[in-house]
């Protein structure tokens, strides 16, 4: 009989010893959440204060387009393709095809929409806010606009000097 009670006595003794280590927890020093000494909560990345605006679009320049092209090749071309047709290498490996930038809806959308999609994600595309700084998002959007214009460019739109450069 004593042997069958021994494990129960050991367990009960362990519980009593562990409870003896607990003091009165109601008298712990703590800080009120609304105390002026309380540290402020960390502000999430990409948060914009009320009545403030995110980075405004920079003026389009050759340097901006070149930066946009280099960032596009790193972050966008794997899915959207070099020409923006939505047939990048990832799609060739079996992933869903993203929208082509040549669609009328994307051609007519404001450039801010392109930046917002990069920032927040859309559909199967996840947010790039942690990967691409706002200035580079605007550069990529400017490069996408250049891709859209080049897809529908006509030879008659070019000056004679520009036509000579094509030959």
Quick: pLDDT tens for 19-78.
666 666 667 676 666 666 666 667 776 666 665 556 678 999 999 999 999 999 999 999
Phi, psi of 61 (to 5 degrees): -140, 170
pLDDT tens, 86-109? 999 999 999 999 999 999 999 999
All domains in the chain, ordered by first residue:
66-155+162-166 (1.10.760.10)
Confidence of residue 15 (pLDDT cuts 50, 70, 90): confident
pTM, full prediction: 0.65
Helix (H) or strand (E) holding 13: helix 2-20
Q: Which helix (H) or strand (E) holds 119?
A: helix 111-120
Tell me the C-alpha distance between 45 and 134, whole Å.
11
Q: Are 60 and 138 in contact (CB under 8 A)?
A: no
Distance CA 104, CA 13 (A): 76
């Amino acid at each position: 009989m004593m042997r069958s009670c021994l494990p129960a006595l050991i367990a009960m003794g362990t519980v009593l010893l562990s409870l003896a280590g607990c003091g009165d927890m109601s008298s712990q020093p703590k800080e009120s959440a609304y105390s002026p000494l309380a540290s402020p909560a960390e502000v999430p990345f990409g948060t914009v204060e009320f009545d403030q605006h995110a980075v405004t679009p920079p003026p389009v320049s050759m340097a901006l387009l070149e930066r946009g092209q280099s960032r596009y090749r790193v972050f966008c071309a794997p899915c959207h393709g070099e020409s923006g047709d939505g047939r990048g290498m990832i799609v060739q490996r079996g992933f869903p095809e993203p929208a082509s930038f040549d669609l009328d809806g994307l051609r007519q959308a404001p450039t801010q929409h392109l930046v917002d999609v990069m920032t927040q994600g859309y559909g199967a595309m996840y947010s790039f806010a942690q990967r691409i700084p706002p200035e580079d998002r605007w550069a990529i959007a400017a490069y996408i606009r250049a891709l859209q214009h080049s897809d529908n460019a006509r030879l008659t739109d070019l000056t004679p000097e520009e036509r000579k450069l094509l030959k």
